[in-house]
Structure 1
Amino acid sequence: MNKVTISLKRLLPALVIGPASWLGPYVVMNSLFLPALIQKIDAPNKVQLVALFSTMGMIFAAISNMVAGALSDRTWSRFGKRAPWIVGGGFCFMLAMIGASLCYNIPALLIAWMVGQVALNFMVAPMVAWIDFAPEDYRATASSAYGGLGMALGNNGFNVVGALLLSQFRLGFVVFGIFAFIGTLIAVLIVHEPANLDEEHLEKAPKKKHHFSWHTISTVFPRWSIGRDYYLALIGKLFQGVGNFAITGYILYIMTDFLHRGSQTQSSIQLINGIMLVLGILMGFFAGPVADKLKVLKFPVGFSTIFLAIAALVLFLFRNTTGIIIYALFAGLGMGLWNALDNLLNLEVIPDQNRVAFFLGVYNLGNTISQAIAPVIAGTVISLWGYSAVFGVAFFFSLIGGICMLSIRSVKK
């Protein structure tokens, strides 16, 4: 069976539009609209409720991500194995977000949000596999398009617009839910994945029986001596994610309750995301080519996480507009470098090249897990010691994440 290969002219635009279309609306709703709606419904318990939604979201996301990937791998249709799940997930996500906009109590909102988490991962898991459609010599280019440009646009570009709808957050759920569906649909149409119905007969071929044993389980993940660098990259991703999302997950409350920006809250959020968007796009365009020319990969990825630690420290020390700008510069540079190159670094340290899709999926799941546990950790320290403590969390986790990346041995620099 020949591997499906799609030209870069179709694949690269889709790898930018696709992740931007699902990640952007999710980030806006998770960091702005959901906290705003929770505050509207139950203000006294808002911090604990954000943590609850994040914990439940992590559980649902982790399970649905693995299920979606498995179902996608075993799908045969005239539209290919990825497209049906991406489009179906996008449509269900849109309906769930419209449902969230109509909720006036916490239980109903929690149900709508969990349905949205499941639907979201039925988009994400198959879409990451699009990178495998790239021609053999251009996989790094495809990975950079997905992570460097698509993720940068998703992480920062939409918050600029989302902040404009902060006072009409119920409408925001509807607008961004619809946008997520339309954007992912456009990406699917651009990729135009070929039919794979001819693969279905392979399922009828006799299968070699595998007996259940501890050895079978233990071979799913290699031991530390073999997979050391991969595990360090995964740990680094988890710590980097917690360090980043500990602040971004509570950015609305940090602006209102810690920095006391008042009427300047909306403009401050727009300023941060505007600066981070510009730097993210610049890194998406230039970080990959420069890294290829200078033959460096580990150092920019490792230091990108340390830049996030510096950003958290700056915002804590300088609680004014200057501090906000410096924070955005360091965070934008850090996230821009990270999004552009971390997927490539992961590809370099995968311990079993015959299971690239599996290890990529586990690595990308680290992003979902860190987004979910970061508000839990941050919410706990905020409840115990106030908003000042969240910057210590961000600094510590980001710093450890960078150290893990710089400790990788198989990638020299």
Structure 2
Amino acid sequence: MKKVTIPLIRLVPGLILGPASWLGPYVVINSLFLPALIQNLDPANKVKLVAIFSMCGMIVSAISNIIAGAVSDNTRSRFGKRTPSMVVGAFFFMLTSVGAAFSPNIPVLLIFWMLTNVGLNFMVAPIVAWIDMAPKGSEGTASSAYGGLGMALGNNGFNVVGALFLSRFRLGFIIFGIFTFVGILVSALIVHEPSNLDEKIQKKSKEERFSWKDLKTVFPSWKKGRDYYLALIGKLFQGIGNFAITGYILYIMTDFLHRGSQTQSSIQLINTIMLVLGIFMGFVAGPISDKFKILKMPIVIATFFLAIGAIALFILRNELGIIIYAFSAGIGMGMWNSLDNLLNLKVIPDKNRVAFFLGVYNLGNSLPQAVAPVIAATVISSFGYSGIFIVSAIFSLIGGFSMFMIKGVKR
């Protein structure tokens, strides 16, 4: 199968705007608007309900992400292999976000939230597969555009604006849902993926076809996919460590740090610092990786910065702690996001199913946001909010150790 190559002048803008358009609204809704709406509908059970919403979102994400990757891999259209799934997913995400905004009670909100996760994952799996369309020798630059710039904007840039809507969170659902659809549509037009109608569907042998009796046709054995599984484990643990804090950032500010009227400004401060550092890493990490042929070790080092940030916030519990956390987490997440997708491309066990394996790998973005609040809620009920930061540091370091154990990428 001939590899599709997109010039960087089109691919890079799409890899910045695309992930920012799905991740930004999702992070804002998940970390700010959803907890605020839950608190409005049922304040007595808010911590427990955030965990329930996260668990339901995780289940839906796990199923829909795998399906979306498989659908994208087998799509033949005049708009290419990836574009149709992501545009349809973005439109569905917009509709369900608007529905969530008008939810009158918790059960209705939960239904719309699960549907929102379906739309989300039909964007994630195809967009990240665009990285594989980079010209040879420019993969690091493409990965850095996606992770270092696009995800930095998504993770932090949108939260700066989103904090302004904390008192109008229902309107926030609508505005950010619409932005997702518009942003994905524009990024698809910029990249302008070529038609693949003439692409032949590779027929699989009897041994390669899916069988419920042999799941190795879907997921390879540990021996064959060891490095891929280690990368996936690393991403999941690092993600849980990060989102254990960001998933409860609103409640941490109000109930743990007691920021009161300064809650909005504190959230904006954290995300502004992390945004600036994330963008900086996005500009430098990928090109440096390409030039010096280093990939694994910067990702491992990134987890140490995340752990330092969590411990600083736990020990200091004041504005200085907030600033140290923002700087450390900003460097760590910027470095990680710039390079981890490229690392995963290096260890994919089947190059004919790139979107499938990238889609599964990118459950490391959505699943931690679902799992972390469940773990955090359990820790909060047992040890209070302070326990979150210890869990965050430990999980981040486990993620780094898993990445370090990868053998196929030497440094």
Q: Same fold (TM over 0.5)?
A: yes
Shift of the alpha carbon at 1:354? 5.0
Change (3 A) 1:50 1:80: same
Report what 1:183 is aligned to: 183
Shift of the alpha carbon at 1:293? 3.4
Change (3 A) 1:389 1:19: same
Q: Please give the secondary structure, in 2, of the residue aligned with 1:293.
A: helix
Shift of the alpha carbon at 1:166? 0.7
1:338-366 deviation digits (Å, cap 9, x = unpaired): 00111122223334445444432222122
Say if 2:72 and 2:355, in contact at 8 Å, map to a contact too: no
Q: Residues of 1 paired with 2:311 and 2:285: CA distance?
A: 25
Shift of the alpha carbon at 1:220? 4.1
Report what 1:174 is aligned to: 174
Q: Please give the secondary structure, in 1, of the residue aligned with 2:324.
A: helix
What letter matches 2:206 in structure 1?
Answer: K
Report what 1:403 is aligned to: 401
1:46-99 deviation digits (Å, cap 9, x = unpaired): 001100110000111111111112222222322223222221111111111111
Say if 2:138 and 2:290, in contact at 8 Å, map to a contact too: no
Pairwise mapping of residues 42-57 of structure 1 onto structure 2 (< 5 A)?
Answer: 42-57=42-57
Match of 1:315 among 313, 321, 327: 313
Say if 2:144 and 2:285, in contact at 8 Å, map to a contact too: no
Q: Please give the secondary structure, in 1, of the residue aligned with 2:381.
A: helix
Change (3 A) 1:358 1:336: same
Report what 1:284 is aligned to: 282
Report what 2:206 is aligned to: 209
Q: Please give the secondary structure, in 2, of the residue aligned with 1:65.
A: helix
Moved more, 251-260 or 210-219: 210-219
Match of 2:359 among 358, 361, 376: 361
Change (3 A) 1:15 1:212: closer
What letter matches 1:344 in structure 2?
Answer: L
Change (3 A) 1:215 1:375: same
Moved more, 288-297 or 253-262: 288-297
TM-score w.r.t. length of structure 1: 0.94
Pairwise mapping of residues 362-401 of structure 1 onto structure 2 (< 5 A)?
Answer: 362-401=360-399
Q: Please give the secondary structure, in 1, of the residue aligned with 2:5.
A: coil
- Work out whether 1:338 is the aligned partner of 2:336: yes
Say if 2:69 and 2:356, in contact at 8 Å, map to a contact too: no
Shift of the alpha carbon at 1:406? 2.2
Pairwise mapping of residues 37-116 of structure 1 onto structure 2 (< 5 A)?
Answer: 37-116=37-116
Q: Residues of 2 paired with 1:299 and 1:363: CA distance?
A: 19
Say if 2:296 and 2:343, in contact at 8 Å, map to a contact too: yes
Shift of the alpha carbon at 1:213? 6.3
In angstroms, what is the RMSD of aligned CA positions?
Answer: 2.0
Match of 2:232 among 231, 234, 238: 234
Moved more, 122-131 or 52-61: 122-131
Segments of 5+ residues of structure 1 without an aligned counterpart are none
Give the fraction of aligned pairs with identical amino acids, expressed as a percent.
Answer: 70
Q: Please give the secondary structure, in 2, of the residue aligned with 1:80.
A: coil
Shift of the alpha carbon at 1:212? 6.7
Q: Residues of 2 paired with 1:276 and 1:142: CA distance?
A: 21
Q: Residues of 2 paired with 1:134 and 1:374: CA distance?
A: 33
Shift of the alpha carbon at 1:123? 1.4
Q: Residues of 2 paired with 1:349 and 1:88: CA distance?
A: 29
Say if 2:77 and 2:197, in contact at 8 Å, map to a contact too: yes
Segments of 5+ residues of structure 2 without an aligned counterpart are none
Q: Please give the secondary structure, in 2, of the residue aligned with 1:411.
A: coil
What letter matches 1:265 in structure 2?
Answer: T
What letter matches 2:37 in structure 1?
Answer: L
Q: Residues of 2 paired with 1:412 and 1:212: CA distance?
A: 33
Change (3 A) 1:93 1:220: closer
Q: Please give the secondary structure, in 2, of the residue aligned with 1:243.
A: helix
